[in-house]
Amino acid sequence: MSHLSVFGDRCRVVGRVAVLAGRVCGQRYLKSALGLYVLWRNQFGSTLSRSNASCAVAPFDDKTRLSLSPGFPTAAPGTTGVQFTAVGVTSISGFGGMPLGTTSQDLTHQVTWTSSAPTVATIDSSGLVTTHTSGQTTITASYQSASAMTTLFVGNFPQFVSTGVMTIARQGATATLLNSGKVLVAGGETPGGETASAEVYDPSSGTFSSVGNMTISRAGARATLLNNGKVLILGGTNSIGLVGLTSAELYDPSTGTFSATGSMAVGRNGHTATLLSNGKVLVAGGAAPAGETASAEVYDPSTGTFSVTGSMTVGRYVHTATLLKNGTVLIAGGVNPAGAASAEIYDPSTGTFSATGNPTIFRYQHTATLLNTGGVLLIGGITEHSQDTSSAELYDPASGTFSATGSMLISRAEHTAALLNDGEVLVAGGSLGYNVAELYDPTSGQFTVNGSLVNPRLQHTATRLINGTILLAGGFVFLSSQESLTASAELYQPSSLIPAGLVSIAVTPANPSIAVGTSQSMIANGTLSDGSVQRLASVTWSSSNAAIASISNDASNSGVAFGITAGTTTITATAGSVSGSATLSAQ
């Protein structure tokens, strides 16, 4: 028996070399030169067990499991077009009944289809749905003694639409909104393995085009937009053994090329990288050769070097890191040796970590989003029972505590969460390929159904563009219950760009002056109809003269102006039709 650590679908095997073979019903199956393995997870890591036995395929009988797709779709009233498929999945077993995989058969035309609310929608014998009125209905497929069900939501939901296709299918890539408004997608896992390739998405044309390659292939890396407009990409893996990389590199948008920069002290995968208020980058945790690491280091763009900083209170990987409005960093969740729910705060002024309140549950492969309120929303992930969760919780920096908030409709991990211009959070993809997207409303603390993805996907990227739309790209997609890499991309257009009750925006500092080659963090304070003021994280920034000073909008770095040449420019923060501005001088 061997032990390994898992980040998404990537594994680091201690003592054995393994690569991913597939995934069935939430279990991950791996293969290696030493035989066929089955993987299961617990809060302390993961275990890999080997079998050399021949496989036996069970007949389609009362043990057959049905799988339906699409999962949790949406449709407009009075339409026909949602086509359900039913696949019978039967286990492949080896010595001692060990599960080694599955075989499948299309049973769409053999099952019996029913709708629990025929006034909302009906379904014919081929699985084709006709919708009637807004509401929801349970769609059930029955075959002999097996059955499966999902929920169909009928209403006038916002739509996801396809956009250009990437030059190559990839998952585990990075996606960074450049100051030009284009999106850099770099690295990841492709059908041929980890890649050094990179490409740029142009929203004006809706197309992807190749740029220079990275210095090395890497998947699972972290990317941070620096104040000077370059992108720092670090860590990840490019080996079958999935050992974390120490190397880092910079992408220069002006040349479209990558160049090496200083290396980290520790190879990392499943780590975090957070731009600090001083322009440096905090790199924390991850899976290192010796296991989960508590070590952290800081990258200084002015010198191109990393230096060791204080260590976390516990080693962890596949956790989250969020820059709070006071300049400290919240580290939350992740796999750790104790398998416990924990969080901590990094203080850049002292270079130290200290414990804060614990999350309500242990979770990893979740998302963390800074809200306009200043709180941090943790969504989904995997719990100590190796189950995806629908739960969500809020961290309050003022009290240093977590509290539960509304739960999602479905359980998710390996999903994305994007802050919209109106302050709500779009949750898309993840888990077993659900189509339905959900929207979290910070005012009510509830999630609601919000349309269907063009392709159910996980381990993809989500980027808010300058115009407020969300770009979802790559990842794994599920078609007929089969998982495959995709080069497809799609766009989500929010129905509103204005936070509820927003009256005005004031930008501070009002008339900053900076030296060319230096930066200035800008703040957008929104006044609401009740008289309260929020520091808005959801605005879109613009510069009236980008040749004088640029302004950042990426989730990793938003609202930082950088002086390029001497002159003056107007810096504007916008949320829909509400905006505020300040005049910046570069000298």
- Give the pLDDT score at 97: 65
Residue of higher predicted confidence among 66 and 422: 422
pLDDT digits (tens, 9 = 90+) for 143-170: 988 899 999 999 998 889 999 999 999 9
- Give the pLDDT score at 575: 97
Across the range 570-575, mean pLDDT stands at 98
The model's confidence at residue 243, banded by pLDDT at 50, 70 and 90, is confident
The model's confidence at residue 63, banded by pLDDT at 50, 70 and 90, is low
Across the range 402-423, mean pLDDT stands at 96
- Give the pLDDT score at 94: 65
- Give the pLDDT score at 10: 32
- Give the pLDDT score at 96: 65
- Give the pLDDT score at 297: 98
| Intra-chain end-to-end CA distance of the chain, in Å | 64
The model's confidence at residue 66, banded by pLDDT at 50, 70 and 90, is confident
* Mean pLDDT of the chain, nearest integer: 87
**With 60 as the cut, is the pLDDT of residue 4 above it?**
no
**Strand blocks (E) in 33-157:** 35-42, 45-51, 56-57, 65-69, 74-75, 80-83, 85-93, 99-106, 112-115, 121-123, 128-131, 135-143, 146-154
pLDDT digits (tens, 9 = 90+) for 73-100: 899 999 998 999 998 887 776 666 666 6
How many Å is the maximal CA-CA distance in the chain?
77
What residue ranges define each of the domains in the chain, with the CATH number in brackets? 64-154 (2.60.40.60), 160-492 (2.120.10.80), 502-586 (2.60.40.10)
**With 90 as the cut, is the pLDDT of residue 569 above it?**
yes
**With 60 as the cut, is the pLDDT of residue 483 above it?**
yes
- Give the pLDDT score at 51: 30
Tell me how far apart the alpha carbons of residues 234 and 227 are, in angstroms, rounded to a whole number: 17
The model's confidence at residue 543, banded by pLDDT at 50, 70 and 90, is very high
Tell me how far apart the alpha carbons of residues 571 and 511 are, in angstroms, rounded to a whole number: 10
**With 60 as the cut, is the pLDDT of residue 11 above it?**
no
Q: Strand 482-485: give its sheet, edge to edge.
A: 457-458, 476-479, 482-485
Two tokens at 48?
């890999």
The model's confidence at residue 315, banded by pLDDT at 50, 70 and 90, is very high
CA distances from 104 to 88, 124, 457 (A): 5, 23, 20
- Give the pLDDT score at 242: 59
Residue 95 has φ and ψ, to the nearest 5°, of -60, 130
CA distances from 190 to 169, 223, 237, 475, 476 (A): 6, 18, 13, 10, 10
pLDDT digits (tens, 9 = 90+) for 499-523: 999 999 999 999 999 999 999 999 9
Among 299, 294, 323, residue whose Cα is nearest residue 310: 294
* Weakest-pLDDT range from 39-53, 167-181, 385-399: 39-53
Among 365, 376, 419, residue whose Cα is nearest residue 555: 419
* Weakest-pLDDT range from 63-72, 227-236, 339-348, 460-469: 63-72
Across the range 260-275, mean pLDDT stands at 96
**With 90 as the cut, is the pLDDT of residue 448 above it?**
yes
Q: Which residue has the tokens 């898992």?
A: 6
Bridge partners, 193 (sequence order) = 190
